[in-house]
A and B are shown apart, each in its own frame.
Chain A
Amino acid sequence: QQQVKQSPQSLIVQKGGISIINCAYENTAFDYFPWYQQFPGKGPALLIAIRPDVSEKKEGRFTISFNKSAKQFSLHIMDSQPGDSATYFCAARDTGNQFYFGTGTSLTVIP
């Protein structure tokens, strides 16, 4: 059973557009929600993360929106660039320090 459900599976966006990736979870014990970016042939790298006591976190062009009541969180990439083309994973951590990852979204930004 997938603990964290991620959509869409793939996304194509024009340069300068907004990329939006969504994740949903069921376990209310999750206490940390990171997003990872992975380029081909590389390991995932932390992009941005949020704790459930905050509804939004912004770092540069990347924003996490967190809706605790709906048990959903999303990644927004503003002014998307070709260099943002990568696979993005959302994740959630439980109180036992186990991480659960979404299935990934392959983002392609067209010049």
Chain B
Amino acid sequence: DSGVTQTPKHLITATGQRVTLRCSPRSGDLSVYWYQQSLDQGLQFLIQYYNGEERAKGNILERFSAQQFPDLHSELNLSSLELGDSALYFCASSPRQQSYNEQFFGPGTRLTVL
């Protein structure tokens, strides 16, 4: 158990809908990273937050947005969902902004868009 929690574990929804994925980092970790893992694209970095501020942005679609709250939990919002958004979404946390040390990954949220 990495200490990172993600909810929900599974999510099934329809095209055009909006969902929110939630992540609680390890106690004391200030950085949160979001990743999308799909069969054809592998693991893709989406976005990083550090202590509430956006720090790095990867291949995140405009339909997606994220935020980190004062209690350091983070939410990833996915809107106008398409079939291709079906994937595993992972959250990871690390103690520092620059992660020379370990990123601890959560168990993931499996999103299925029908």
Contacts and interface: CB of A to CB of B under 8 A. Distances in A.
Interface of A: 32, 34, 36, 41-46, 51, 89, 91, 93, 96-104
A104 B33 CA distance: 19
15 contacts: A32-B100, A42-B108, A43-B90, A45-B104, A45-B105, A46-B104, A89-B42, A91-B43, A97-B55, A97-B56, A98-B48, A98-B58, A99-B33, A100-B45, A101-B42
Contact of B107 (A42, A91, A99, A101): A42
Interface of B: 2, 4, 33, 35, 42-45, 48, 55-58, 90, 92, 97-100, 102-108
B60 to A, nearest CB: 11
A104 B90 contact: no
A97 B107 contact: no
A82 B86 CA distance: 31
B103 A46 contact: yes
Contacts of B97: 97
Contacts of B48: 97-98
Contacts of B108: 42-43
A41 to B, nearest CB: 8
Contacts of A101: 35, 42-45
A100 B12 CA distance: 28
Given A32-B100, A97-B97, A97-B98, A44 B106 contact: no
A44 to B, nearest CB: 5
Contacts of B55: 97
